[in-house]
Structure 1
Amino acid sequence: MTEPNLSEASSKKMAAGLCGILLGALGIHKFILGYQQEGIIMLAVSLLGGTFTCGAASGVIGIIGLVEGIIYLTKSDQEFFDTYMLNQKPWF
């Protein structure tokens, strides 16, 4: 596995931020950052939890994705790199 770098962080920040805002309930932004377990959790809660909660769980997960996308895009490249790529902070 290669060491992440700052230029890679910039492109991942943009992709993860936009996916978080537009497709947050599906957890795609988590997969972009390499957080497979968290992405699967978000996807499962959206698809399965939405069935059992009449869509409320999907709405909550969508809001979490939206907030995370905004957080990603408002961080500097260095701060994003340090927080999400080096320190591997999976939530917020």
Structure 2
Amino acid sequence: MTEQTIKEGKTLAIVSYMTFVGLIIAIIMNLEKKNPFTSFHIRQMLGLILMLLVSNVSEQYINSWLGTVLWTITFVSWLFGLYNAIQGSDKPIPVVGEYFQEWFRNIN
């Protein structure tokens, strides 16, 4: 990605990490611009929300400790994604980030 693309999409990329509402705002605002940097981080955040749902279901129905561990992993991954958005980097979240890009590839 070019520096100009990153500069134009950085604000919305950061907004996408600010709760579910921020994600919706970033998706809507990126519909007409279709900035690839913003789209990358939107897909990462969608995956993090999926991870959060899995951790909550695990905590509720499987094992409280397992859910807590999964929630902690999700939180650290969220910090990683937010840090990369602030830095202007398009590094995927370790282990699962590439899957998120593949699963949500239709989100531009």
When normalised by structure 1's length, the TM-score is 0.46
Specify which structure has the bigger relative contact order, considering alpha-carbon pairs within 8 angstroms and separated by 6 or more residues. Answer: 1
Q: Which has the larger radius of gyration?
A: 2
